Amino acid sequence: MTEYVPTIGLEIHVQLQTKTKMFCGCELSFGDEPNIHTCPTCLGLPGALPVVNQRAIEYAIRIGLALGCEIAPRSLFHRKNYFYPDNPKAYQISQYDVPICGAGRLGDVRIHRAHVEEDAAKLIHSGAGSGRIHDAQRSVVDFNRAGTPLVEIVTEPDVHSPEQAREWLTLLRETLRALDVSDVDMSQGSLRCDANVSVAPKGATELGTKTELKNMNSFAFLEKGVRAEIDRQVSLLEAGGRVTQETLHYDPSSGELTSLRSKEEAHDYRYFPEPDMPALVVTEAQRQAIAAALPELPSDRAARFEREYGLAAERAHELAFNRPLGEYYEAAVSGAKHPVAVANWLASLVERIGSEVDPSDSKVTPAAFGALVALVEEKQISRDAGRTVLDKLVAAGGEPQAIVEAEGLGAISASDGGLDEIVAAAIANDPDAAEKVRGGNNKAMGPLVGYVMKQTKGRADGGEVGRLIRQHLGV
């Protein structure tokens, strides 16, 4: 069978968390009663004139700079003409050939452009069937969302697998979250993604016919939808058929792909410059001021964690791309001598409080967590005792040293006396295991170490116990 290479381009719509809409002063407040945040402008009534939201433009520039985009000193608004019930003007104010943000890059994916536009109203379908518009018995429109500021980010076709698409979108979402321009909540529609998908025989010089998957509202949904469409296109081509350019809906519950309409080209929208709005001008001083105020981005933070704290790339990435966990880590490691150990112990904390909980909301303060790791690393308590202390911190908070003293969890070492005798008793209690260790079977040491740990209630250091066992056995 012919080997096919998928090519995927992504279009991401980001709702900006401004107080008012893109071209009018109506409040943005989601979840309110339908159609109470409207005015002649966002309802598209005759004679109403749009005025651009300055904060939305600042957010768009912030996004563009974070994506390494060229910021246009002068850009234009256009009318994108189409008729749909959620579009009261029968056109959308968007940008066409002169967007505010040009070429850029994020990770291994090039950005083609990013532009500002207004969102449509919210269509709500009810009735029998799947809830898609073709099956609905009744549809109503909530115009509260009409005119919400959006930035649309369009990538080059640099993605070649569903897994890569999901990973890159995770990078984008965390970058946008760090910029504080959107809550990027896919379940609420603040971040929506379309995927253009094509396949072509390996070695082909031209891309295959592309289809578009619309409005996928979770990363898992997107990954499954793209994989299903790749499989569908390959099956078509293998059977001697051809792929038709169209827009598709993917149903994650059934795994089915349904054709919605033929895919539009730019000329289908009859773009022309918005006559009611002047050109958008961004001065170099404005650009520099916004650039100077940019926060540390996740990719930069990951590189700093590697450089400053000596973390492995994977661990640095894990902490940098989970902002609450990364901030907790930095607070815990402040002034600590064991940054790598603090990062490693965080997995134990997350396991106990749950991955959805911000560790700063737990009863374990960053200072207490850092102090606990120091006690373990400096062998004042054993690792088993450290886990016991962590359990008590998660349950009730407090200071690690006070818990160690109250519970008698201080480490027992060879110099304390008594540990030698317990090791000797372990060997006498299990001569078979002792003989196997003498014969070079290191795994047989487990029962001997376990005996000592049980007798010391986990207070002995495992490494020290192993050293004493070898010393007693002469190996």
User: What are the tens digits of pLDDT across the range 434-449?
Assistant: 888 888 888 888 888 8
pTM (two decimals)? 0.81
How crowded is the C-beta side of 145, counted as CA atoms within 13 Å?
17
Hey, what are 239's tokens? 């059977």
Q: Indicate whether 379 pLDDT > 80.
A: yes
In percent, the amount of the chain with pLDDT more than 90 equals 69
Return d(Cα 154, Cα 196) in angstroms, integer: 10
Q: Indicate whether 252 pLDDT > 80.
A: yes
For domain 414-473, give the fold. Answer: Arc Repressor Mutant, subunit A (1.10.10)
Average pLDDT over residues 288-317: 95
The pLDDT of residue 420: 79
Average pLDDT over residues 61-67: 98
The pLDDT of residue 458: 76
In percent, the amount of the chain with pLDDT more than 70 equals 96
Average pLDDT over residues 387-403: 96
Report how far apart the first and last C-alpha atoms of the chain are (Å, whole number): 59
The amino acid present at 304, given as its one-letter code, is R
Q: Which of 367-376, 381-390, 407-416, 420-429 has the lowest mean pLDDT?
A: 407-416
The pLDDT of residue 408: 86
Return d(Cα 423, Cα 248) in angstroms, integer: 69
Average pLDDT over residues 331-351: 93
In this structure, are residues 418 and 412 in contact, taking their beta carbons and an 8 Å threshold? yes
Hey, what are 214's tokens? 């619309």
The pLDDT of residue 138: 80
In this structure, are residues 403 and 376 in contact, taking their beta carbons and an 8 Å threshold? no
3-state helix, strand, coil in the chain (%, to 5): 40, 20, 40
Residue 262: count other Cβ atoms within 10 Å of its Cβ. 11
The pLDDT of residue 218: 86
Kindly report the length of the chain.
475
The pLDDT of residue 310: 96
Q: Indicate whether 324 pLDDT > 80.
A: yes
The pLDDT of residue 399: 96
Q: Indicate whether 189 pLDDT > 80.
A: yes
Q: What are phi and psi of 113, to 5 degrees?
A: -170, 165
Return d(Cα 324, Cα 295) in angstroms, integer: 15
The pLDDT of residue 8: 97
Mean pLDDT of the chain: 91
Instruction: List every span in the chain annotated with CATH 1.10.10.410.
Output: 414-473
- Strands 211-216 and 246-251: what pairing? parallel
Q: Which distant-in-sequence residues (6+ apart) come within 8 Å of 278 by Cβ?
A: none
Using alpha carbons, select from 303, 324, 39, 74 the residue that is nearest to residue 178: 324
Sign of CA dihedral 226, 227, 231, 232: negative
The pLDDT of residue 1: 57
Average pLDDT over residues 334-348: 91
Q: Which of 87-91, 264-268, 319-323, 377-381 has the lowest mean pLDDT?
A: 264-268
Average pLDDT over residues 332-350: 92
pLDDT bracket for residue 417 (50, 70, 90): low
Q: Indicate whether 129 pLDDT > 70.
A: no
The pLDDT of residue 134: 54
Helix (H, G, I), strand (E, B) or coil at 200: strand
pLDDT bracket for residue 123 (50, 70, 90): confident
pLDDT bracket for residue 306 (50, 70, 90): very high
pLDDT bracket for residue 410 (50, 70, 90): confident
The pLDDT of residue 365: 96
Q: Which of 51-55, 111-115, 380-384, 461-465 has the lowest mean pLDDT?
A: 461-465
pLDDT bracket for residue 292 (50, 70, 90): very high
pLDDT bracket for residue 42 (50, 70, 90): very high
Average pLDDT over residues 89-100: 95
In this structure, are residues 274 and 79 in contact, taking their beta carbons and an 8 Å threshold? yes
Return d(Cα 204, Cα 184) in angstroms, integer: 37
If residue 261 lies in a helix (H) or strand (E), which one and from where to where? strand 256-262
Q: How far is CA 469 from CA 379, 426, 472, in A?
A: 18, 9, 5
Q: Which distant-in-sequence residues (6+ apart) come within 8 Å of 431 by Cβ?
A: none
Average pLDDT over residues 140-160: 96
Average pLDDT over residues 413-425: 75
Return d(Cα 8, Cα 159) in angstroms, integer: 5
